[in-house]
Amino acid sequence: MLATTTLAEEILELKQERKAILLAHHYQEPEIQELADWVGDSLELARKARDFAGDVIAFCGVWFMAETAKVLNPNRIVVVPDRAASCSLVDSCPVEPVRAYRRRYPGHVIVSYINTSVEVKAESDILCTSRNAVQVVNSIPREKTVLFLPDRNLGGYVQQQTGRENMKIWQGTCVVHATFPARRVAEARDAHPGAKVVAHPECPPPVLALADFVGSTSAIIEWCVKNPAREFIVMTESGINHSLKKLAPEKQFYFVANENCNCSECPFMKLNTLEKLRDCLRDLEPRVNLQADLMRRALVPLERMLAVK
């Protein structure tokens, strides 16, 4: 306990010295969230990174989020606690097949989820996050064919919500959400009758069909806080429990284990620790370094996304 307090103080001192901002995703460990200047979903964190005027962005999330921060604010130093914090969706979508698709179908509109590498972003027409994916796809003229990548569950959800027929969907999945079984949601409902079900759109269609609300991590938190129900079955990574308990301490939140790890934790997000956060602020490594031309090309679809209302 004493060690943790000392470490936290060290981080706050380094943060001041470095003129740094600490951005944390909702899936980070509670002790990291507690130190962060801002905790949010991918879209909120991208906006915070873009608007930061200090020197260093310490990004506690996964690598693609830090890359996005660098593209949006290239004059800042962007560091991460652990360079190995990837994402199974990023890993499911290498850039070469995307380039080949683009060559073969130059008239199609490539909509990429923000959970992609910067190289894939640079080949995309517009990006989206789980918060704005429906609006982004609705902003594309209906006669155009869309390739949505890489998450097949988010893609399927967007297709259902927009009623869009001419939409092709990549077959990537999230290692955490895609293995939530609908059967376990039904069991949780039986155990807690009256509980509302909330789900992230990366969950498979049978889970989404049982949900009272589908949205991004921050949207799920906002919905649970406002909703008059007192019990919620939460179909996303259990890191969001920290904000849920802080904002609605009188309510009960139940997390369902998936079939991958029999847990609901993202193995990539959980690589980050306070020690590694301290080290990255001290050493300014691991650091995001991207070629200027790559950043310029990835910025175009990012800015298009941020312009969608």
Residues 206-225 that bind ligand 13P (CB under 6 A): 216-217
Q: Which is nearer to ligand SF4, 15 or 59 (CB)?
A: 59
Q: Is 117 in the site for ligand 13P (CB under 6 A)?
A: no
Q: What track of x and - describes contact with ligand 13P for positions 125 through 164 (by CB under 6 A)?
A: ----xx----------------------------------
Q: Which is nearer to ligand 13P, 41 or 279 (CB)?
A: 41
Cis preceding linkage at 286, omega within 30:
yes
What are 94's two structure tokens?
């290498």
CB of 220 to ligand 13P, least distance (A): 8
Q: Which is nearer to ligand SF4, 46 or 62 (CB)?
A: 62
The partner in contact with residue 129, picked from ligand SF4, ligand 13P, none with C-beta cut-offs of 5 to 8 angstroms by kind, is: ligand 13P
Q: What track of x and - describes contact with ligand 13P for positions 166 through 195 (by CB under 6 A)?
A: --------x---------------------
**C-alpha–C-alpha distance, residues 75 and 61, integer Å:** 20
Question: How would you label 117-127 residue by residue, b for 16+ Cβ within 10 Å and e otherwise?
Answer: bbbbbbbbbbb
Q: Tell the residue number behind the tokens 């209302």, with chain if given.
A: 309
CA distances from 56 to 21, 44, 67, 69, 72 (A): 6, 18, 13, 11, 13
Could you tell me what percentage of the chain is helix, strand and coil, using 3-state DSSP and rounding each to the nearest 5? 45, 15, 35
Helix (H) or strand (E) holding 103: helix 95-104
CB of 201 to ligand SF4, least distance (A): 11
Q: Is 29 in the site for ligand 13P (CB under 6 A)?
A: no
Asked if residues 40 and 26 have their Cβ atoms less than 8 Å apart, the reply is: yes
Q: At residue 147, what is the residue type? A: L
Please give the residue ranges that form the binding site for ligand SF4 (CB under 6 A).
Answer: 62, 87-89, 115, 174-177, 202, 237, 266, 268-269
* Interface with ligand 13P (CB under 6 A), residue from 115, 117, 132, 241: 115
The partner in contact with residue 243, picked from ligand 13P, ligand SF4, none with C-beta cut-offs of 5 to 8 angstroms by kind, is: none
Q: Which is nearer to ligand SF4, 14 or 24 (CB)?
A: 24
Q: Which is nearer to ligand SF4, 29 or 202 (CB)?
A: 202
Q: Which is nearer to ligand SF4, 14 or 173 (CB)?
A: 173
Question: How would you label 215-241 residue by residue, b for 16+ Cβ within 10 Å and e otherwise?
Answer: bbbbbbbebbeeeeeeebbbbbbbbbb
Asked if residues 241 and 234 have their Cβ atoms less than 8 Å apart, the reply is: yes
Q: How far does Cα 109 stand from its chain's mean position?
A: 22
Q: Which is nearer to ligand SF4, 85 or 298 (CB)?
A: 85
